[in-house]
Structure formats: structure tokens, C-alpha cells
Amino acid sequence: MADSAQAQTLVYLVTGGCGFLGEHVVRMLLQQEPRLRELRIFDLHLGPWLEELKTGPVQVTTIQGDVTQAQEVAAAMTGAHVVIHTAGLVDVFGRASPETIHEVNVQGTKNVIEACVQTGTRFLVYTSSMEVVGPNVKGHPFYRGNEDTPYEAVHRHPYPCSKALAEQLVLEANGRKVRGGLPLVTCALRPTGIYGEGHQIMRDIYNQGLRLGGRLFRAIPASVEHGRVYVGNVAWMHVLVARELEQRAAVMGGQVYFCYDKSPYKSYEDFNMEFLGPCGLRLVGTRPLLPYWLLMLLAALNALLQWLLRPLLLYAPLLNPYTLAMANTTFTVSTNKAQRHFGYKPLFSWEESRTRTIRWMQAMDSSAQ
Ligand SMILES: NC(=O)C1=CN([C@@H]2O[C@H](COP(=O)(O)OP(=O)(O)OC[C@H]3O[C@@H](n4cnc5c(N)ncnc54)[C@H](O)[C@@H]3O)[C@@H](O)[C@H]2O)C=CC1
Ligand SMILES: CC(C)[C@@H](O)CC[C@@H](C)[C@H]1CC[C@H]2[C@@H]3[C@H](O)CC4=CC(=O)CC[C@]4(C)[C@H]3CC[C@]12C
């Protein structure tokens, strides 16, 4: 818990505070923000773990709400100094309709911005995504790029389109006058593929490997690099940005920052094996076992099956045309903009990030048995 030496005066609102990233942001705030008086956790689905947070010196207020409902957002925002907006529909598997993705990710973000203006909340940190940049529909690689690297950010999938539009709205809102006449200060953080304790996709891939007798079959060339970042470091960057935004408004306001740490550049599959290997899984093949055209055919068949079965059941496998293209396109960042602008350094080393993730997976495995 935070040191109580400093005056506890601030009220923070975290939307999506029960999600994979949101939970880490909530816990990091309680540990690292000594000025916190009240922490409001706003989410569509509240988790049972929240109760344990209510025993500390910080007032933890849980709010079951929907960011698509403007009045619910405004009510939760009233009196807050800072809002960290992580709530979103993270769907590249066809589970939700394009309309729903847009409603949550874009309209929800509009509601957060308008609630800031209406209630006088001055500091907004938005969880954007690498996908705002790429990989683009043309499959152009983004190799060790930064926030200023030229890149043709062209998207068709509902998820990246919604994240790009939401980010634009957040950045454009920087400087708007909020209730009381002072300017709104906004900032957007762009994580690459987040991993760590609570990562549902990692769980799904692990369970897929167990079903295949402890084996996973390589589908992506090892040479395709995919940027990854540890969830604890992403949470830490959110906390740091929220803390520095007032003092460094002129530098940070309206800016975007990639989230990064020392996680190695590897293919998506090889990176996952850093955690799945110690849990007993094996990646078969030093190069893809199937030709890319066959993988594309299988991905297209999955998409067709999803469409045919939709009236009966939700069929949403990991492999679809979008995820195959994503995994098969190099996208890595190399930047120090966050360090230059607000002194960010990863809180967790690669070794710590790896160890914590492995321990989580092993605990998950033993509890499942
Ligand atoms: N997981 C990843 O690799 C990356 C995630 N991001 C972004 O980080 C943010 C968090 O993502 P994750 O934690 O991975 O997803 P998640 O699905 O685990 O968490 C999202 C949270 O938002 C909540 N939520 C969804 N719709 C809501 C609504 N209408 N009203 C209120 N709450 C709602 C969910 O209940 C959930 O708790 C998202 O904005 C996502 O776009 C960005 C880059 C990478
Ligand atoms: C089936 C195989 C081809 C397998 O390798 C597919 C992996 C696939 C599920 C992931 C590959 C790349 C991931 C995405 C990437 O990390 C960027 C993301 C950013 C976000 O904002 C949300 C998550 C994601 C879209 C992430 C989702 C999983 C992958 C597509």
C-alpha cells in the first residue's frame, strides 16, 4: 500500500478496472500513488477480488457501470481529479459485432471525455494500442519504430479502427475547457501485445497445447518479430503518466507514448514459449509446419464456420484471417519518448516479468488440476 506520508487528497477513476490491464493499474495505484484518497473502479463486470482492497487506508469505491451510458460515466466521474480510461472491447476474434466494438470503444471514450468537461475532471489518460498504427492492411512491417516513424496506418478491422478513432478524440480533447474554466489535459498510451498475470489469450493457448498432448505447432516464421510488453510495466506507465500530467502538461498534453520495456523481440509463438515451455509445452517445428497459403485457407474456413454457426453458437478460434496477418507481420517498437518526457523506466526487468508470468501460469495449472 502507498506511504501515507504525503497528504491523501486525490480521487482517481479507473474505467475497465477489473480487466487484465485494469486490475494491474488498480493495484499499482494503491502501491505507488501516495496522494490517493479515493480510488473508483468502474467496470461492466466487477470482480470478487475487489473486496480485499477495501481494508486499506485508501477509500476503494466499486461502481458497476457501462461506459456507453453517458450518465453513468458522469456520475462516476463527479469529483475525480484523474481518470484512467482502460475500458474497452478487445475483440479480434469476431465475438462482438463491429457496431458493439464501436459503441464501447468510441462512444464510450466520447462519454468519458464529455464527463470530464461536464464535471471538471482535468486529467485523462487513455489506453490506446499499437494497433492504432499497425500492422496495416497491406502487411507492411514496422521494425523497431517509434512515435515519429512514418507508417501508413490503414485499417479495415473494427477493433483497430475503433482504437484509432478513440485515440484521435482523446488527443483532440486536449486543451478543452472543463467545468471551472481550466483546460483538460489528455494523453494516450499505446501498449504493444501485453502479457503477464491474467492474460486470457495466454491461458487459451496453454489450454490448446494441453489438448494437443503438450505440443504447439509452429505457424509463424521465427524471423517475424512481434512487440510485447509486461502488464506490470504498462500499469506503471499509466500511474506515472497520471502523476506527471499536471506538472508537465505543456510537454505531455495531447501526446502519444508507446508502452515498452526490456521484453525481447521474438515471434509471437517463440515469445509465448518463454512461459509455456517451463509449464511443460513444446513448440514443434523450427519453421512453419504448413505453407502460408494453407494457413490462410484454414483461417478463411474458420471465418466461414463462425459466420455459418453464429445463429446457433459462438465459434471464435484463435486463428482467423486477421490474427494470422497480425502474427505474421513484424511490429516492434524501439523508443525512449516516455523516458524523455516523464522519466519512465520499466519497473520490472525482463527476468522479473518472465518469472512472475511463469509463476502465474504454474499456479493456474495446479489450480486447474
Ligand atoms: N491486451 C492487450 O494486449 C492490449 C490491450 N490494449 C488496450 O488495453 C485496454 C484493456 O485491455 P485488456 O485489459 O486486455 O482487456 P480486458 O477485456 O481484459 O479488460 C477490459 C475491461 O473493460 C471492461 N469493459 C468492457 N466494456 C465495458 C463497458 N461498456 N463499460 C464498462 N467497462 C467495460 C471489461 O469488463 C473489462 O474488465 C483496452 O482498451 C485495450 O484496447 C492495448 C494494447 C494491447
Ligand atoms: C493462430 C496463430 C496464428 C497464433 O499465433 C495467433 C496469435 C494471435 C491470437 C495474436 C497475434 C498478435 C496478437 C495481437 C497483438 O498482440 C496486438 C494486440 C493489440 C491489442 O490492442 C489487443 C490484443 C491484440 C489484438 C493481440 C491479440 C492476439 C493476437 C492477434
- The rounded mean pLDDT for the chain is 96
Task: Indicate if the pLDDT at residue 3 is higher than 80.
Answer: no
pLDDT digits over 101-121, tens only?
A: 999 999 999 999 999 999 999
pTM summary value: 0.97
Catalytic one among 126, 159, 322, 344? 159
Q: Please check whether residue 22 is in contact with residue 50, taking contact to mean a CB–CB distance below 8 angstroms.
A: no
* Amino acid identity for residue 366 in this structure: S
Task: Indicate if the pLDDT at residue 229 is higher than 80.
Answer: yes
Task: Indicate if the pLDDT at residue 336 is higher than 60.
Answer: yes
| CB count in 10 Å sphere of residue 144 | 15
Task: Indicate if the pLDDT at residue 362 is higher than 70.
Answer: yes
Ligand nearest to the CA of 26: 1
Percent of the chain scoring above 70 in pLDDT = 98
Q: pLDDT band for position 8 (50/70/90)?
A: confident
Q: Which three cell numbers stand for residue 249?
A: 502538461
End-to-end CA distance of the chain: 33
Q: 15 in the Ramachandran plot: left (φ > 0), alpha (ψ -120 to 50) or beta?
A: beta
Closest CA to 180 of 241, 116, 227: 116
| CB count in 10 Å sphere of residue 314 | 11
Q: Which three cell numbers stand for residue 131?
A: 494497433
Task: Indicate if the pLDDT at residue 144 is higher than 60.
Answer: yes
Q: Please check whether residue 87 is in contact with residue 67, taking contact to mean a CB–CB distance below 8 angstroms.
A: yes
143 is catalytic: no
The arithmetic mean of pLDDT across residues 151-159, rounded, is: 96
What local confidence, expressed as pLDDT, does residue 369 receive?
A: 59
Closest CA to 23 of 146, 198, 177: 198
Task: Indicate if the pLDDT at residue 232 is higher than 80.
Answer: yes
What local confidence, expressed as pLDDT, does residue 252 receive?
A: 98
Ligand nearest to the CA of 329: 2
User: Could you tell which of 20, 91, 92, 165 is best to mutate to test the pocket of ligand 2, judged by most ligand atoms within 8 Å of the CB?
Assistant: 92
Report the separation in Å between the CA atom of 166 and the middle of ligand 1, taken as the mean of its atom positions.
13
The arithmetic mean of pLDDT across residues 275-294, rounded, is: 96
pLDDT digits over 303-333, tens only?
A: 999 999 999 999 999 999 999 999 999 999 9
Domains of the chain are 11-200+228-264+331-349 (3.40.50.720)
Residues facing 190 on adjacent strands? 258
Task: Indicate if the pLDDT at residue 5 is higher than 70.
Answer: no
The arithmetic mean of pLDDT across residues 12-37, rounded, is: 98
Closest CA to 10 of 60, 57, 115, 80: 80
The arithmetic mean of pLDDT across residues 174-197, rounded, is: 98
Task: Indicate if the pLDDT at residue 228 is higher than 70.
Answer: yes
